A and B are shown apart, each in its own frame.
Chain A
Amino acid sequence: MSENMTAEIADHSSAHPTTGERDGANRKASSIEMQGLHKRFGRDTVALDGVDLNIRAGEFFTLLGPSGCGKTTLLRILAGLEEPEAGSLVVGGKNITEVPPHQRSVNTVFQSYALFPHLSVRENLAFGLKMRGMKTAERQAKVDEIAEFIKLGDLVDRHVDQLSGGQRQRIALARALICEPDVLLLDEPLSALDAGLRSQLQVELLRVQKRLGMTFVFVTHDQQEAMVMSDRIAVLNGGTIQQVGTPDEVYEHPVNAFVAHFMGHDNLFAISAAEDDWVDTELGRLRLDPAEQRDAQDGWLLIRPETLELDGEIPEGYNRLQGTVAERLYRGSRIEYRLTVNGRSLMAVASNLGQRMHNIGDRVTISVCPEDLVRVAA
C-alpha cells in the first residue's frame, strides 16, 4: 500500500516494474531468500533441517504440511520471533537474519488474531503506526483508509470483545496491512472459522493480495485451501522442503509419496518392475509415457481418480483394467467409486453428467490414458 492506496487500487492495469506481469500496485513488494535455515527446539527436536527457499516479490506463497512439519517455525523465523541456528534470511535484498522483529518491515496475522484487549479496534489498528512514531492525525487518516479498503464499516468504533471470529480475523488482517510491510505473514488465519465464512474470507484475502501486489506468506495444513489461494506452494515434512511448485504442479506431479498422500491422493501403487514404456504394479502391467520414465526401478505409480474412465470407449493405446465396484459415494456434482482390481482398491471419480451410475458389484472396464500416469519417487 502506498499513501494513495485507494487510487492505486482503482488503477488495476498498471503493471509494476518489480512484479512483472502481475497487476499489483505495491511498489514495496519484496522477494524473500532463505538459505540453509536450521532450527531445533531442545536437544532432540529438529524443527527445520536446512531450508532453502526463494519467494518472489508479490507472490501468494503457501507453506503447506502436517502439524510439526516446520511450517510455523519457518514463518516465525520470517517474523523474527524465532532465531535460526544457522542459515540466512534476505528480504527485499537486505539480510535480516539478525534483525529483531520490531525492526523488520514484516507483519503477521496470528492464528489467535492477538488483538490487544486493552485497546479499542481503532487503537488496535493504529498500534503499529503509533510504535513507528506516526502523528495522531496521520494515523487516524490511515485507519479510515484501511477501514474503507477492508470494508470494516462501523467495526472500527467497537470494542474488541464485541467482535465475532470473522470480524476479529479482518481486524487482525487490517492491523497488519495498515503498516504496509514488505511481506505479510499469515499463520493459519482462517482455521478457527466455520466452513462458509472460511471460503468467503479465502476469496476476500486473495482479492486483497492481488490488489495490493504485496508478498503474502501463508501457512496452512489444508491442501484444498493451499491450492485455492496460492501462486506457489512449498510442501514441508520433517523440517525439510519436499516440493515447491504451482498448485497444479504439486497436485498433478507430486515428487514423492509423501507429497502425493498429503495432496489427497489415494491411488498409489508400488512399482515392482519397469521398462521403457511400461511398469508392473499390483494392478497389473500398465503402459505409460516414456517421458515419465525414471532411472530408479522402484517408486510408486500415481493414478488420479478423475483420469479413469469406466465402461467408456477405449481409444488405441489406452490402458485397460477389469474391476468390480465395491463402493459408491454420490457427491452431487460428481460420483466417487471404490473399485477392486486384482484384490487392490482403486478410486475413480466421474463427473455427474447424467450418465448411468454403476452399482455395487458391477463388473466394469477401466481405461486410462498412458500420459495420465505419473511415477512418484518413494
Chain B
Amino acid sequence: MRKRTLTRGLAGIWWVTLFFLYVPLFVIVLFSFNSANSTAIFERFSLAWYRRLFDNEQIINAFGNSLVLAVSSSIVALVIGCLIGYGMYRHRHRKLGWLIVLIYLPIVLPDIVFGISEMAFFVQIHAWTGLLQPGLGTMIIAHVTFQIPFVALIVYSRFVGLDPTLFEAAKDLYASPLKRVVHFMVPTIKPALISAFFLSFTLSIDDFVISFFTAGPESATLPIYIWSAIKKGVTPEINAIATLMIGAVALAAVLSMLFNRQGRR
C-alpha cells in the first residue's frame, strides 16, 4: 500500500510540474486568439490581434531585428565554434582542464553579469575609438560570444564519438587538407552542425538580458519590445507575439534535436 502511495505522490509531482510549465503557455496562446481586449475572459475566436500585430511597424522592425540578429550571430558562432570544437578535439590528449573551464564559463555565468560587462566594455571602446556604437553590431558580437561554447561543445562531442582512424583513412585515400574538410569532416559532423545552428538560433531569439544591455536605440528585438510594451499592461497583442515566438523556438528546438539524434544513429 505504502509503495502505491509513494508512486502516486511522485506521479502527482510530475503532473503539477507539467501544469505550471504548460498551462501559462496555453493561456497565452489561447488568449492571443481572443476577440475581446481581455486577458481574463475568452469571448470568441479571432485573428484580430495578429492583424494588428502585423500592422504595427515597431513590432515588424523588432521581429526583423530579432531574425537578423539570430541568423547572423548563429552563422558566425557556428564557424568560430566549429573551429574551436575541432581544436579541442585535436588537442584532447594535452591537459586542457583550464581551457575547458574557459569554454564552460559563459554557459554558467549569469546573463545579467555578462550583459552588464559587455555593455560597459562596448561603451568604453566606443568612447576611445568611436567604433562599436551600441546597435545590431554590438548585439551580434555579444550573442556570438555566448553561443560559441554551445557550438564548440556539440562539435567536440561529435568528433570524440568518431573512430580516430577515420581521419587517417581520409589522409591515406589521397584527401588533401582542404578536401578532408570538404569531403570528410563537414559531411561527417553535418548533423551536429545543423543541431548547433538551431540551438544557437534558439538561444539568440530567447535572449532578453544580454540583448537589453547591448542594444542601441534602433535595434530593439522582440523581447525588448515586449518588455517596453508590457509596462502599459499585457495586451492580447503581446500574447500574439509570444505565441509566434513559442512556435518559432519550438520548431528550432525540435529540428535541433532531430538532427542531433540522426547524427548519433
Contacts and interface: CB of A to CB of B under 8 A. Distances in A.
Chain A interface bracket (under 10, 10 to 19, 20 to 34, 35 or more): 20 to 34
Given A130-B183, A131-B183, A116 B174 contact: no
B176 interface: yes
B165 interface: yes
Contacts of B184: 116
B163 A81 contact: no
A107 B165 contact: no
A115 B168 CA distance: 11
B169 A108 contact: yes
B contacts with A: majority SS: helix
A118 B174 contact: no
Nearest to B169: A114
Given A80-B171, A102-B176, A131-B173, A114 B188 contact: no
Interface residues of B, number: 20
A158 to B, nearest CB: 15
B172 interface: yes
Interface in A172-186: 175-176, 179
A110 B168 contact: yes
B188 A102 contact: no
A260 B170 CA distance: 39
Contacts of A132: 174
Nearest to B187: A118
Interface in B162-212: 162-163, 165-166, 168-176, 179, 183-184, 187-188, 190
A127 B180 CA distance: 11
Interface in A103-155: 103, 106-108, 110-112, 114-119, 127-128, 130-132
A101 interface: yes
Contact of B166 (A108, A116, A128): A116
Given A102-B174, A107-B173, A117-B162, 10 more contacts: A80-B171, A102-B175, A108-B169, A111-B165, A112-B165, A115-B169, A116-B170, A116-B188, A127-B175, A128-B174
A-B residue pairs, 10 tightest by C-beta: A114-B169, A128-B173, A131-B174, A114-B165, A101-B171, A131-B175, A118-B187, A118-B188, A108-B172, A132-B174
29 contacts: A79-B168, A81-B168, A101-B168, A101-B171, A101-B172, A102-B172, A102-B173, A102-B174, A102-B175, A102-B176, A102-B179, A103-B174, A106-B172, A107-B172, A108-B172, A110-B165, A112-B165, A114-B169, A115-B169, A116-B184, A118-B187, A127-B175, A128-B173, A128-B174, A130-B183, A131-B174, A131-B175, A176-B172, A179-B173
